Structure formats: C-alpha cells, structure tokens
Amino acid sequence: MNVLIIVDLQNDFLPGGTLAVPHGDEVIPLANELQRRFELVLATRDWHPPDHGSFAANHPGKKLGDRIMLDGIEQILWPVHCVQNTHGAEFAPSFDTSRIAHVFHKGIDPRTDSYSTFFDNAHRRSTGLADYLKKRSIKDIYLMGLALDYCVKYSALDARQLGLKAHVILDSCRGIGLEPGDLDRALDEIKQVGAILLQSSEL
C-alpha cells in the first residue's frame, strides 16, 4: 500500500501565520491533487499547549531563534504557534482534508518539542504513527508539507531509523531557512540516510 503523509499544513505555517514558512501556501494545491494518487492519506498537526517550552514568549529575557536547553536537549525558540484549538493550529481552509484517514498530533508535551511526525525530539514519546504503519504492514511512505528543514526532515530521518522506505516529494515541501544554507543542508541529511528525493511529476 502506498501512503502519503501530509505534514503540518496549518494556518500558522502559512503566509500570515505566526511561524510562516515562505511560500508554504504553494503546496496546498499539490496536497489536494496528490491525495488522489495514494491508497492511504495521513496527516500531522503541530499541536502545542500554550505553555509550550519551544515558545520564546515562555522564557523571559530570551528572544526568537535563541537556543536553550529544554529538558536535557537543545531547543530553538520559536514564536507562539499552533496552539491547540486555536485558528493558527487549524488546517489551511483550502486544504482538502476529506480523504485523510487519521491525523497524528505532535508537540503536546510542554517540556519537549517534536519536529518528527514519529517521535519527540528526545525520542521519548511516540505519536502513534510508527505503530499505525506497523499494524498495517506499511513499509513505504511518501512525505510532503511544512517545513522541509524541520518536521519533514526529522520525519524522514526517523522513518529511515525505523527501517521504512521514505520518499520526500520535494516540490510539495517548503522550508523555513532560519540560517543561510539550511535548506541545502536538510536535503543533504535526508539523502545521507537513504531517503529518496523526488518530484510530484515522477509519481
């Protein structure tokens, strides 16, 4: 069975959102179109409580982009984004969610961030996606969405660690690019672990 996993197409990651990924909205028509070519469509949502430790606003004296230690691991500080049950955390209005079989949530624990759609950044807590795939004997996944250099990248790395065949549909992703070169470095890391980069036209 071929599976499409659509990562974080939420208002806060789109232009006008609090953690807008440049040109993030451009992948929505592709997300809608690509779903028809897959037997199973899954999606993820970044889903933070208001007191989440990745928000700069929750660390007086710290600013956006600062790096701190959070529960034993390094954490970049972000703007408040994707707070549970707020408009920013909702899927983009033009994103067709009718074919999504299950939505996995991540970043729920206030003390640990979670970029990957499989595990939190400390690899302590699972989102349930790995078990979901295993139960259905799914060994092959296709990833798309936001952001290429965070959630998509770490999902591809974890997928490989789990022994899954992981594909990243490049033209269906956009990155944050906090530092110059981040996007190229993300692509290198994705390739290095043996994930396959492809374009939607090759599907």
Residue 151 touches which of Zn ion, ligand VGL, none (CB < 5 to 8 A by kind)?
ligand VGL
Partners of 70 in beta bridges:
73
Which of 27/147 has CB closer to ligand VGL?
Answer: 147
Residue 25 touches which of Zn ion, ligand VGL, none (CB < 5 to 8 A by kind)?
none
Q: Of 10-18, 106-114, 155-163, 168-176, which part binds Zn ion (CB under 5 A)?
A: 106-114
Which of 3/77 has CB closer to ligand VGL?
Answer: 77
Which of 40/107 has CB closer to ligand VGL?
Answer: 107
Q: Which of 12, 106, 153, 173 is catalytic?
A: 106
Q: Does 135 qualify as catalytic in the annotation?
A: no
Q: Which residues contact 145 (CB under 8 A, 6 or more apart)?
A: 5, 6, 7, 8, 9, 27, 31, 44, 151, 152, 172, 173
Q: Does 8 qualify as catalytic in the annotation?
A: yes
Q: Of 6-14, 101-109, 132-140, 154-162, which part binds Zn ion (CB under 5 A)?
A: 101-109
Maximum CA extent, the chain:
49
Q: Does 151 qualify as catalytic in the annotation?
A: yes
Nearest approach, Cβ of 39 to ligand VGL (angstroms)? 25
- The count of C-alpha atoms lying within 13 angstroms of the C-alpha of 73, restricted to the half-sphere facing its C-beta, is 11
Among 12, 46, 120, 158, which residue sits at the site for Zn ion (rule: CB under 5 A)? Answer: 46
Output the DSSP codes for 5-65: EEE--BGGGSTTSTTPPTTGGGGHHHHHHHGGG-SEEEEEEE-B-TT-TTBGGGSTT--TT
Q: Is 120 near Zn ion (CB under 5 A)? A: no
Q: Which residues contact 189 (CB under 8 A, 6 or more apart)?
A: 153, 157
Element (H, E) at 160: helix 153-161
* Pair 115, 121: CB distance under 8 Å: yes
Paired tokens of 58: 């929750």
Residue 146 touches which of Zn ion, ligand VGL, none (CB < 5 to 8 A by kind)?
ligand VGL
Q: Which of 8, 12, 120, 158 is catalytic?
A: 8
Nearest approach, Cβ of 145 to ligand VGL (angstroms)? 8
First to last CA, the chain: 14
**Which residues in this chain contact ligand VGL in the complex, by CB under 6 A?**
8, 46, 78, 115, 146-147, 150-151
Q: Which residues bind Zn ion (CB under 5 A)?
A: 46, 107
**Catalytic center residues:** 8, 106, 151
